[in-house]
Amino acid sequence: MSARSWRLVKIGAEILVPLAILLAWQLWTASAHQPRFPRLSTILVQFREMWLFSQFGEHVVPSLVRILAGFAIGSLIGVALGIPLGLSTRARRAAMPHIEYWRAMPPPALLPISVILAHSIGDRQKIEFIAFFCIFPVLLNTIAGIRAIDPTLVDTARSYGIPRHERVRRIVLPAAFPQIMAGLRVSLALAVIMMVLTEYFSSTNGVGYVLLISKNTFQLVPMWAAIVLIGVIGYLINFVFLLVERRVLAWHRGWRAALPD
């Protein structure tokens, strides 16, 4: 087979295989007549009716706000704590037992506690909860990124008399940036999961709430539509993040590509 037709086969596979999977899903659900597995086409019609865009403002927007607010607050705290901890061995030694404990704690184990502490779990508590667990991937990656900096860079800057805050801003942060972005990506995925979990707890809106209510009332098609929506939200958020990452790390890629191995 020539190189050209081989390439065509690969492009064809990339397009046809996902379509075949969707078709198989449709055919299987159409023939199975299982109320728990409604037809794919039925789910998609329901999806359009619910989310494009009649209930969008009521349920999707609050969920997105929770994800983004929690993620933004958590990441800021993560980077802000990560810089001093990455630079100072002593501070890191003091903080590490706490970081190791909380990063290993499964987030749902703290949900009942946050309900007790706050006497309720409204919007603010949900965002605080998401923010708390978004801290750790960013924090750990900031620390790791800063520790991996070539010490010659920092020493050179110091011997040129560049003050400390300038060294942090111009050398430490840019050098750690790729790894900070890796941490941000993990945190963002975590934020979506925790949005769903917190919305299972005493909510009045949000996609997690819709999912729970439709399950409790055995409305299976809306339930599937909500699951698909959460999948789409997860996918799109990740997609947008990759676009942003490609843009802001373009200099880094160019620099890496220019380096000999």
Partner 1 sequence: MKRALSVLDRLIPLLSVVAALLVWQFVSVTGIVDERDLPSMTTTVRELWHLMQTGTFWHQLLLTVRGWALGLGVATVLAVPIGIVLGSSDLAGRAFRVPIEFLRPIPSAALIPLLFLTLGTNLKSEVFLAAFGAFWPLLVQTMYGVRDVDPVALDTARSFGLGRLERMYRVTLPSTVPYIATGVRISSTVALILAFTAELFMGVPGLGQAMNVAGAFGLTDTIYALALATGFLGVAIHISTTAVERRALRWHPSQRQEVAL
Binding site for partner 1 (CB under 8 A): 9-11, 13-14, 16-18, 21, 36, 89-90, 93-98, 100-113, 115-117, 119, 137, 140-141, 144, 148, 179, 182-183, 185-186, 189, 192-193, 195-197, 200, 208, 211-212, 214-215, 220, 223-224, 226-227, 230-231, 234-235, 237-238
Smallest separation (angstroms) from partner 1 to the CB of 181: 10
Nearest-CA neighbor of 106 among 193, 180, 165, 185? 193
By beta-carbon proximity to partner 1, the closer residue of 144 and 153 is 144
By beta-carbon proximity to partner 1, the closer residue of 11 and 52 is 11
By beta-carbon proximity to partner 1, the closer residue of 70 and 107 is 107
By beta-carbon proximity to partner 1, the closer residue of 20 and 166 is 20
By beta-carbon proximity to partner 1, the closer residue of 91 and 163 is 91
Smallest separation (angstroms) from partner 1 to the CB of 179: 7
Tokens encoding 151: 């010490």
The Cα–Cα gap between 152 and 210 comes to: 55
Taking CB atoms within 8 Å and a gap of at least 24, the contacts of 250-255 are: 252/177, 252/178
CA distances from 24 to 16, 95, 144, 153 (A): 12, 52, 45, 56
Phi first, then psi: what are they for 161, rounded to 5°? 75, 25
Smallest separation (angstroms) from partner 1 to the CB of 154: 19
Smallest separation (angstroms) from partner 1 to the CB of 163: 26
By beta-carbon proximity to partner 1, the closer residue of 72 and 189 is 189
Smallest separation (angstroms) from partner 1 to the CB of 113: 6
Smallest separation (angstroms) from partner 1 to the CB of 39: 16
By beta-carbon proximity to partner 1, the closer residue of 16 and 248 is 16
Smallest separation (angstroms) from partner 1 to the CB of 209: 11
